[in-house]
C-alpha cells in the first residue's frame, strides 16, 4: 500500500499544479489558489 500512496502523491501534486496553472491563466490565480482547500 505504501507504493500506491507514493504513486498517488505525485498525481495529486500534478493535479494541483494543473489547477493553479489554469487559475493563473484566468487572471485570478492567487485568489483561487488561496480559496481552494486542496
Domain presence at residue 4: no
pLDDT tens column, 1-38: 566 666 677 777 777 878 777 766 666 555 555 665 55
Domain presence at residue 21: yes
Domain presence at residue 17: yes
Q: Given this model, what pLDDT does residue 15 score?
A: 79
Place of cell 492567487: 30
Number of domains in the chain: 1
**What's the rounded Cα separation, in Å, for the pair 30 and 8?**
25
Across 3-38, b (16+ Cβ under 10 Å) vs e yields: eeeeeeeeeeeeeeeeeeeebeeeeeeeeeeeeeee
Domain presence at residue 1: no
Domain presence at residue 18: yes
Q: Given this model, what pLDDT does residue 6 score?
A: 64
Q: Given this model, what pLDDT does residue 24 score?
A: 67
Domain that holds residue 24: 9-35
Amino acid at each position: 500500500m505504501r507504493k500506491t500512496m507514493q504513486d498517488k502523491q505525485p498525481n495529486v501534486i500534478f493535479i494541483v499544479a494543473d489547477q493553479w496553472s489554469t487559475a493563473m491563466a484566468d487572471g485570478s490565480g492567487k485568489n483561487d489558489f488561496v480559496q481552494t482547500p486542496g
